[in-house]
Amino acid sequence: MLGRGSGRTAGERLYASPALTVIGLDATPLTAAMNVVPPVARARISVRLAPTQDPVAAQDALVTHLEQQRPFGVPVAVTRRAVSGGVRTAADGPAARAAREALATAWGREPILQADGGSVPFAGALQRVPHPPEVLLFGVQDALSGLHGPDERVLLDELARGVAAEAELLGLLA
């Protein structure tokens, strides 16, 4: 993550505010590394936006910044990919209250609501239509789930309770 002096924790920076993360790096393999500057290096960058940010303007600003960083005249090439904006869903609507009730029934205790950064393009699109529906996004996980990591896992008990919570939610919304 880039940035400093924000006074925010890494979690707050990743999930509640804009964040830039290098998610992939391609350069000389370690087994072939020598004490020379590699001829080519590539990186894949993920940018998470706050819900109010314009994704096209953010991409334009990042591309401009990267293209201006040319130490020793090294060429920089940027491949643009599709963008989508950040999404903020309400936690106080009727469907959200029903979801909390369904999760509490399935787990036997109140759920923990946690902001989670990321882009969910279809959720943002649904929020922009006339008479937008209430959008719910919830996942069943614990602190050791390793969400979206190489060691991600879901315990069978969590999966069963997640299915029960979804069935309960559909019943409450019917």
Residues in the chain: 174
Strand partners, 47: 20
> Do 100 and 62 belong together in one domain?
no
Q: What is the pLDDT of residues 122-131, one digit of tens each?
A: 888 888 899 9
Domain span at 15? 10-73
Q: How confident is the model at residue 101 (pLDDT cuts 50, 70, 90)?
A: very high
**Is residue 81 in some structural domain?**
no
> Do 65 and 113 belong together in one domain?
no
* In the block, residue with structure tokens 């969400």: 147
Whether 5 shows a pLDDT value over 60: the answer reads no
**Is residue 163 in some structural domain?**
yes
Last residue of a domain, one of 41, 73, 105: 73
Whether 2 shows a pLDDT value over 60: the answer reads no
Q: What is the pLDDT of residues 63-87, one digit of tens each?
A: 999 999 888 888 999 999 999 888 8
* In the block, residue with structure tokens 């990591």: 149
> Do 103 and 67 belong together in one domain?
no
Percentage, residues of the chain above pLDDT 70: 90
Strand partners, 146: none
**Is residue 19 in some structural domain?**
yes
DSSP characters for 93-138?
Answer: SHHHHHHHHHHHHHHTSPPPP-------HHHHHHHTSSSPPPP---
Look at residues 61, 62, 68 and name the one whose alpha carbon lies nearest to residue 45.
Answer: 62
| Its pTM surpasses 0.85 | no
> Do 69 and 98 belong together in one domain?
no
Q: What is the pLDDT of residue 170?
A: 96
What element of type H or E holds 80?
none
> Do 14 and 64 belong together in one domain?
yes
Tokens read off for 79 = 């491949």
**Is residue 119 in some structural domain?**
yes
Our count of domains for the chain comes to: 2
Q: What is the pLDDT of residue 160?
A: 95
